[in-house]
Amino acid sequence: MPDINFLKIGTPEADSFPAVGHTYEADLGGDILVQFEYHSVNSMTIYGLKGEHKGFTQTVEISVMPIRPGIFMVGWQEENQTTVTHIEDFEKGIVYTNITLPGNKSLRLQGPFKPVK
């Protein structure tokens, strides 16, 4: 079975991930409004901006895999064992997310994904 080619710091492909050095906002509906500050292809900080997640802040290790130009799969696991997988479409400004919460409850959400800085 071939290895999955996740982006790694220092590789030419890493430069193709447009989020590095920027902050993006995802409005996933209801009370879920989140910002993601991408430090590298391996690290980002999550900020909860609304509802029960307001004030949540956590820096996580991420894995980024290119799907095609402008579209990337980004995944991570949070300290409470929540697992998140995003499909981030930078061209169309939309994010699709699958979230598995502790206890195996799952959410499938999508919403606008836009740069804020």
Q: Which sequence spans correspond to the domains of the chain?
A: 12-115
- Taking the C-alpha atoms of residue 13 and residue 116, their distance in angstroms, rounded to an integer, is 24
Determine the average pLDDT of the residues in 90-110.
95
Strands (E), 1-117: 23-27, 33-40, 43-48, 57-68, 71-77, 83-89, 94-100, 106-115
Architecture of domain 12-115: Beta Barrel (2.40)
Count, residues in the chain: 117
Name every residue whose Cβ is closer than 8 Å to that of residue 30 and which is 6 or more positions away in sequence.
51
pLDDT tens for each residue of 6-62: 666 655 555 588 999 999 999 999 899 999 999 999 999 999 999 888 999 999 999
The per-residue pLDDT for 1 is 38
**6-10, 43-47, 75-79, 80-84: range with lowest mean pLDDT:** 6-10
Q: Which pLDDT score, from 0 to 100, does residue 64 have? A: 92
